[in-house]
Amino acid sequence: MSLICVGSMAYDAIETPFGKREKIVGGSAVYVAYAASNFIKPVNLVSIIGNDFEESEIKALESKGISFEGVERIKDKKSFFWSGRYHLDMNTRDTLVTDLNVLADFNPVIPENFQDSDFLMLGNLHPATQISVIGQMINRPRLIAMDSMNYWISSALGDLKRVLTMVDVLMVNDAEARELTGEYSLVKAARKILELGPKFLIIKKGEHGALLFHGYDVFFAPALPLEDVFDPTGAGDTFAGGFMGHLARTQDISFENMKTAVIVGSAMASFCVEKFGPERLKEISKGEIDDRIRQFIDLVNFDIALV
């Protein structure tokens, strides 16, 4: 009973209107793992790091019940590095540097010890890599979720469509849903994506919340209105970690429980943006998470009163 999380680990340089960090740990797998570790242990990490990845960061992750058995360490190369600068509205950013480094050779291998994991989160990687991971699972996990991005829609659409037939949940943002389908209406885009394979679709809209689609059902979770969004880096991955962590903890993959999972993911994402990188996620407590989920209940709860 555990969660495998496959994705990048990185160092990032981030500049927002509130300040900057020259070197802070990042990568999709780091955010997913930190968020999920509040709900399920172990979180089985599958990733790749270089010789610059600090021991203290590994210890910080391990102290949360995140297993490094599936993390490959390359001695003569550096970790994946990304650098970006956010605009004032925080919804747009410029990528300044992308140094793939070790990530260029990433061929994830699932350790035997991870084979009993029943939840699998595939971070944003080449869809052929995602297919390779699914193929390595001797027993298909109960739930497979994947992230993707516009780059794969334009450069690897065939592989992307193939992996979509193999997963249960796709998480993309609104622009990606539109690009993948050619539909501006998110409702129409969702219909088309669900026909491609996934039984569930989550469309992330950043500060405007997230939509969960399943058949003809739809559920909406708002983003928490915050005084300041300090740094949005990793918020989508943190959402995914909270979502998958809640499902793995409850062992309930019904649409009803996925609604709650979307709220849990939104709550975790609302923490992520409060500080730089995963700083806030490292220090979060169970009590804080419960309080935040209560805030979401207050945010959307109203008396049922028909006219």
Positions touching a copy of itself (CB under 8 A) are: 38-39, 88-89, 184-188, 205, 208-209, 211, 217-222, 225-229, 246, 249-250, 256-257, 259-260, 262-264, 286, 289-290, 293-294, 297-307
Q: Least separation, in Å, of the C-beta of 185 and a copy of itself? A: 6
3-state secondary structure the chain: CCEEEECCCEEEEEEECCEEEEEEEECHHHHHHHHHCCCCCCEEEEEEECCCCCHHHHHHHHCCCEEEEEEEECCCCCCEEEEEEECCCCCCEEEEEEECHHHHHCCCCCCHHHCCCCEEEECCCCHHHHHHHHHHCCCCCCEEEEECCHHHHHHCHHHHHHHHCCCCEEEEEHHHHHHHHCCCCHHHHHHHHHHCCCCEEEEECHHHCEEEEECCEEEEECCCCCCCCCCCCCHHHHHHHHHHHHHHHHCCCCHHHHHHHHHHHHHHHHHHCCCCCCHHHHHCCHHHHHHHHHHHHHHHCCCCCCC
Q: Least separation, in Å, of the C-beta of 228 and a copy of itself? A: 6
User: Would you say 31 or 39 has its CB closer to a copy of itself?
Assistant: 39
User: Would you say 138 or 306 has its CB closer to a copy of itself?
Assistant: 306
Q: Least separation, in Å, of the C-beta of 306 and a copy of itself? A: 5
Distance from C-alpha of 242 to C-alpha of 178, rounded to nearest angstrom = 25
Q: Least separation, in Å, of the C-beta of 58 and a copy of itself? A: 26
User: Would you say 94 or 256 has its CB closer to a copy of itself?
Assistant: 256
User: Would you say 41 or 77 has its CB closer to a copy of itself?
Assistant: 41
Positive or negative, the Cα torsion across 244, 245, 251, 252? negative
Q: Least separation, in Å, of the C-beta of 204 and a copy of itself? A: 13
Neighbours of 80 (CB within 10 A): 25
User: Would you say 99 or 207 has its CB closer to a copy of itself?
Assistant: 207
Q: Least separation, in Å, of the C-beta of 300 and a copy of itself? A: 4
Q: Least separation, in Å, of the C-beta of 1 and a copy of itself? A: 16
User: Would you say 135 or 287 has its CB closer to a copy of itself?
Assistant: 287
User: Would you say 151 or 184 has its CB closer to a copy of itself?
Assistant: 184
